[in-house]
Structure 1
Amino acid sequence: MATQHSLFNESPDHINALLESNTPIAPSALSNAVAVPNSKQDGYSAIYRNAYSPDKLLTIPHPSLDTLYRLFDHTSTINAQFDCYGTRYKIPSTGKFGPYTWQSYQTINQRRTNFGSGLFFVLQNNQFKSTIDDNLDLSYNPHQNQPQSSFIVSLFSSNRAEWGIADLACITYSLTNTALYDSLGPETSKYILNLTKSPIVIASKDKIENLVKLKSTYGEELNNLIVLVSMDPLDRENTNDLNLIEFAKSHQISLYDFNQIEKLGEINPLEHIPPTADSIYTISFTSGTTGANPKGVVLEHRQGVSAVTFCVANVKPIKRAVTYAFLPLAHIYERMNLQYAMFQGASIGFPQSPSALTLLDDVKVLRPHYLSLVPRVYTKLEAALKSQTINNYDKPVLQKIFSGIIAKKIEWQSAHDGAEGKHIVYDQFLQILRKKLGFDRVVSFNCGSAPISPETIKFLKATLNTGMSQGYGLTESFAGVCVAQKFEKDPGSCGAIAITCEMRLRELPTMNYLSTDEGGPRGELLLRGPQIFTEYYKNPEETAKALDKDGWFATGDVARVDANNGNRLYIIDRVKNFFKLAQGEYITPEKIENTYLSKFPVISQLYIHGDSLKTYLVGIVGLDPMTVNQYIWKRFRDKLSSQEEIIEFFKNPDHKLALIEDMNKAVDQEGLLLGFEKVHNIYVTFEPLKLEDNVITPTLKIKRPMASKFFKSIHDELYEEGSLIRKVDTKL
């Protein structure tokens, strides 16, 4: 068991005062990494740790706060009367969503106890209990001291207060949970429920019927599923709801709603079963990029607290902060955000829907201080802001003013690390724009899950007059293990390795990534420390592949360490994503895709394909609907009114060639891509990479084996058409 070292060692009575006065740690102290002396081995770089604590890894904010249970107990005591969870409800008369309605920390604290108690009651007194496996123990054991709970609870909904309460109830009673999500599909939901033998799913009402149908189809494999809990109310006088209850019962499932579970728990309260640091908090299933069954990442309370410690050290808290829980709680990134926000006593607003289309409507009402989003949302925001500012050609005076201000802001913020580029007049002007969007209180944007263009970061920081950080993390590390300064001089890094983790790079000679590379080592990123997971659930083979005997986790990501910039981390490629062309050149498609996407904003999706019998690359291009019309007007002097017209327009070889030339011109700067890494022919459409087609993961990584099969006919057509950029097309 790893030794835990806290940020501070004073008595628990002074915890809150200590944290308020000593965190966050100054960005300048955390922004660089150092090599551990004498740690370099053949085939590897040196081991790197954060320069703030080079001698040991820090894992908990205080000795008394070593589980997620204790973190919430601490915050619910200090912040009892303050707002915790906020929800918007529809106004019946208008059909629109109203203001946020808040529940206090004290209320959420009581509801977690009621709900957890109720879960045990409905399982222990279930009429279908005799149908479950003999080794599945549903009993309540207040003296349980095992790292694995006796049964696993499944959660299935978009983000909402009930999700958070159910999660807290599991923490309170040492129950392990897992999450299902729509993008995995019913087959994968069946796989997870069967593997975990989960007897209960807590879901939004719209999921209930399909869950019952899933059991009706796979009754033998899902015989342990005997309870469903609807997060939405069920009305027994409503015919549809009554039929749903009977439908569940006919398949040996008892169906309750959330309020019933809480009421049963309130009547039959149970003593808490506090977890230990070794207790398993969650099993987070990650879909991966191969198309195989997802792997269940086993995460203990120690990893969760380490992740919160990482946040505590890096994020400057705001008294009575408001935050927006938009990213899916089924993924570990938002779960880390939620645990940290609660620990800091923040007011957490949940979205009216999981769609990005309603995000700005919520934000205008909520006016959050922090926003954590993913690159695809930021690039859409960037395009929208550009149309109102530097590209607002319908209002040339505004366009000129914004262009001047934003250019100056970018210049000032690029002066040095930490430069905010403040200006008394410009800031007031930009505040009008911020207020219009609901961003008037935002102090920082955070980005994760995939790389984002440095140019996007620069533009958003300048235009919205606030900080923006790019981080890096994985499910296996309970989200973030490094994050860049929010006012980094040259955006693009993921910052230095966290105080909770250490790293090194493994050489990849086949891909020409070496520890001796000029400017700093390059290779596969390996992570080790208390924030790293311990195993894949019931999957010793994959565990052995991912974790070596010394505890190093092989991430599969290719990174470089910039020796000239504080040993900060840059993610540049994926280990398995390479192939050969006919002339023997090695191609790493993810690097190529990210380069095009960062330098040519007219496209928002790109999938690069090559063939070992061909000498050039082809691509599937997804146009950005926010910027393509302006591009077509500037490049071709054409105005097109629909996406269908635009797709037809780029079927013309001359138009398509011009687009390819512009794409390649954009990456010619600084020699970003070699000649054989550039595309020679493309298929042009809007959003070709869709979750429902099973070609990308929920975190938007391309499933290359699946994508290759899905787009095979298009690849064949592109190669038949041949290279558009060669004067003599050999059509190899």
Structure 2
Amino acid sequence: MMHHFVIWILFKKVKALLGGNVRMMLSGGAPLSPQTHRFMNVCFCCPVGQGYGLTESCGAGTVTEVTDYTTGRVGAPLICCEIKLKDWQEGGYTIHDKPNPRGEIVIGGQNISMGYFKNEEKTAEDYSVDENGQRWFCTGDIGEFHPDGCLQIIDRKKDLVKLQAGEYVSLGKVEAALKNCPLIDNICAFAKSDQSYVISFVVPNQKRLTLLAQQKGVEGTWVDICNNPAMEAEILKEIREAANAMKLERFEIPIKVCLSPEPWTPETGLVTDAFKLKRKELKNHYLKDIERMYGGK
């Protein structure tokens, strides 16, 4: 009882910012980090849940229960759909994994759309109909089912790259671990299967990096600061520290970086309207930098 009273005293002003009567909050569109999720649970004095779904599933497929205070999970399937996992041998995920089954998330039910408009090839690739007439959609996301029936999103097929030595790197995992660095506003990890290491493109925090440049005696415009090797070295130093704190594997840590003086916005075409990375567009935009960081001329 005393515990709840102390929390109410400490965070009642934060709660008041939302009107003071919020009973539950839901997050969707992108996963919350466990740290952010727990922070919001405490500060807003109410359960903060997560949902998971796609346009192809006409919205949510799972939602956490109001009494579920765990982090990093997206809840159990809604009554409108069914969810199953499918082995993805190439990525090393199977329904026989221990302690919990893992695999590509497949959603079925009446909420599944009929396909992609005027794109029969893509529709045939991602959609299927079983012997009972139920439509299924292969999401491309990798999930893990917990014993209580709740789903956790752990990876994405398109984000997985196999390095030259055979190690698999989840680019999304690397980005999630590093994007909270104070010097970084946004980051895109990149790797090639014929190379042995990961590189990254970074949109630095202009205020913090400019202040650091002044402390290091680096002068010039914002573009000059971003192109300065000393500033790249400072960003890499912070990346290594954050990666070690998040317990990334050695081969997952980017060892070279390209700093972008321009932020990534939907107008630039490098991110979606929901500010998710467009990897293909980012790759094309930074082709020369990729060649440079991988030893090309």
Same fold (TM over 0.5): yes
Is residue 160–residue 169 contact of structure 2 (8 Å, CA) maintained in 1? yes
Shift of the 716–540 alpha-carbon distance from structure 1 to 2, 3 Å rule, reads: closer
Residue 670 of structure 1 and its aligned partner are, at CA, apart by: 6.1
**Match runs of 1:95-134 below 5 Å:** none
Structure 2 residue aligned with 1:479: 59
Is 1:574 aligned to residue 150 of structure 2?
A: no
Please give the alpha-carbon distance, in whole angstroms, between the structure 1 residues aligned to 2:205 and 2:68. 27
**Match runs of 1:27-176 below 5 Å:** none
Is residue 562–residue 568 contact of structure 1 (8 Å, CA) maintained in 2? yes
CA deviations 1:76-131 (Å, max 9, x no partner) are: xxxxxxxxxxxxxxxxxxxxxxxxxxxxxxxxxxxxxxxxxxxxxxxxxxxxxxxx
- Secondary structure in 2 matching 1:576: helix
Structure 1 residue aligned with 2:77: 497
CA deviations 1:295-323 (Å, max 9, x no partner) are: xxxxxxxxxxxxxxxxxxxxxxxxxxxxx
Please give the alpha-carbon distance, in whole angstroms, between the structure 2 residues aligned to 1:496 and 1:560. 11
Structure 2 residue aligned with 1:662: 238
Is 1:584 aligned to residue 159 of structure 2?
A: no
Of 142, 146, 153, 1:562 maps to 146
- Secondary structure in 2 matching 1:460: helix
Residue 639 of structure 1 and its aligned partner are, at CA, apart by: 9.9
Residue 475 of structure 1 and its aligned partner are, at CA, apart by: 0.6
Of 456, 459, 478, 2:36 maps to 456
Is 1:715 aligned to residue 297 of structure 2?
A: no
The one-letter code matched in structure 1 to 2:175 is: E
Is 1:606 aligned to residue 187 of structure 2?
A: yes
Larger radius of gyration: 1
Shift of the 686–468 alpha-carbon distance from structure 1 to 2, 3 Å rule, reads: farther
Residue 692 of structure 1 and its aligned partner are, at CA, apart by: 2.0
Residue 680 of structure 1 and its aligned partner are, at CA, apart by: 0.3
Shift of the 518–637 alpha-carbon distance from structure 1 to 2, 3 Å rule, reads: farther
- Secondary structure in 1 matching 2:129: coil
Of 183, 187, 196, 1:615 maps to 196
Residue 620 of structure 1 and its aligned partner are, at CA, apart by: 0.8
Is 1:511 aligned to residue 95 of structure 2?
A: no
Shift of the 685–443 alpha-carbon distance from structure 1 to 2, 3 Å rule, reads: farther
Identity of aligned residues (%): 27
Please give the alpha-carbon distance, in whole angstroms, between the structure 1 residues aligned to 2:181 and 2:67. 24
Please give the alpha-carbon distance, in whole angstroms, between the structure 1 residues aligned to 2:37 and 2:200. 26
Of 270, 276, 280, 1:705 maps to 280
CA deviations 1:570-622 (Å, max 9, x no partner) are: 1122223333333333333223222323x635433211112234321111112
**Match runs of 1:666-677 below 5 Å:** 666-669=242-245, 671=247, 673-677=248-252
The one-letter code matched in structure 2 to 1:578 is: L
The one-letter code matched in structure 2 to 1:665 is: E
**Match runs of 1:427-442 below 5 Å:** 427-435=8-16, 437-442=17-22
Residue 714 of structure 1 and its aligned partner are, at CA, apart by: 2.3
Is residue 624–residue 686 contact of structure 1 (8 Å, CA) maintained in 2? no
Is residue 579–residue 610 contact of structure 1 (8 Å, CA) maintained in 2? yes
- Secondary structure in 1 matching 2:100: coil
Please give the alpha-carbon distance, in whole angstroms, between the structure 2 residues aligned to 1:697 and 1:443. 31
Residue 450 of structure 1 and its aligned partner are, at CA, apart by: 1.3
Residue 461 of structure 1 and its aligned partner are, at CA, apart by: 2.4
Shift of the 548–438 alpha-carbon distance from structure 1 to 2, 3 Å rule, reads: closer
Residue 636 of structure 1 and its aligned partner are, at CA, apart by: 8.8
Please give the alpha-carbon distance, in whole angstroms, between the structure 1 residues aligned to 2:226 and 2:284. 24
Residue 652 of structure 1 and its aligned partner are, at CA, apart by: 4.2
Shift of the 562–438 alpha-carbon distance from structure 1 to 2, 3 Å rule, reads: closer
Please give the alpha-carbon distance, in whole angstroms, between the structure 2 residues aligned to 1:670 and 1:455. 11
Is residue 493–residue 569 contact of structure 1 (8 Å, CA) maintained in 2? yes
- Secondary structure in 2 matching 1:532: coil
Please give the alpha-carbon distance, in whole angstroms, between the structure 2 residues aligned to 1:595 and 1:487. 27
Please give the alpha-carbon distance, in whole angstroms, between the structure 2 residues aligned to 1:650 and 1:487. 46
The one-letter code matched in structure 1 to 2:176 is: N
The one-letter code matched in structure 2 to 1:492 is: G
Is residue 184–residue 205 contact of structure 2 (8 Å, CA) maintained in 1? yes
- Secondary structure in 1 matching 2:77: coil
Shift of the 439–492 alpha-carbon distance from structure 1 to 2, 3 Å rule, reads: farther
Is 1:520 aligned to residue 100 of structure 2?
A: yes
Q: Which has the higher contact order (CA 8 A, sep 6+)?
A: 1
**Match runs of 1:244-259 below 5 Å:** none
Residue 710 of structure 1 and its aligned partner are, at CA, apart by: 1.1
Is residue 618–residue 680 contact of structure 1 (8 Å, CA) maintained in 2? yes
* Higher percent of residues as strand: 2
Please give the alpha-carbon distance, in whole angstroms, between the structure 2 residues aligned to 1:454 and 1:556. 22
- Secondary structure in 1 matching 2:244: helix
Residue 527 of structure 1 and its aligned partner are, at CA, apart by: 0.7
CA deviations 1:145-183 (Å, max 9, x no partner) are: xxxxxxxxxxxxxxxxxxxxxxxxxxxxxxxxxxxxxxx
- Secondary structure in 1 matching 2:49: strand
- Secondary structure in 2 matching 1:573: strand
Shift of the 462–474 alpha-carbon distance from structure 1 to 2, 3 Å rule, reads: same
Please give the alpha-carbon distance, in whole angstroms, between the structure 1 residues aligned to 2:205 and 2:44. 22
Is residue 80–residue 109 contact of structure 2 (8 Å, CA) maintained in 1? yes
Please give the alpha-carbon distance, in whole angstroms, between the structure 2 residues aligned to 1:644 and 1:457. 37
Is residue 472–residue 481 contact of structure 1 (8 Å, CA) maintained in 2? yes
**Match runs of 1:206-225 below 5 Å:** none
Is residue 527–residue 554 contact of structure 1 (8 Å, CA) maintained in 2? yes
Is residue 605–residue 687 contact of structure 1 (8 Å, CA) maintained in 2? no
The one-letter code matched in structure 2 to 1:666 is: A
Is residue 447–residue 470 contact of structure 1 (8 Å, CA) maintained in 2? yes
Aligned CA RMSD, in angstroms, stands at 3.2
Please give the alpha-carbon distance, in whole angstroms, between the structure 1 residues aligned to 2:145 and 2:221. 44
Shift of the 711–439 alpha-carbon distance from structure 1 to 2, 3 Å rule, reads: farther
Structure 2 residue aligned with 1:553: 137
Please give the alpha-carbon distance, in whole angstroms, between the structure 2 residues aligned to 1:483 and 1:636. 45
Is residue 596–residue 667 contact of structure 1 (8 Å, CA) maintained in 2? yes
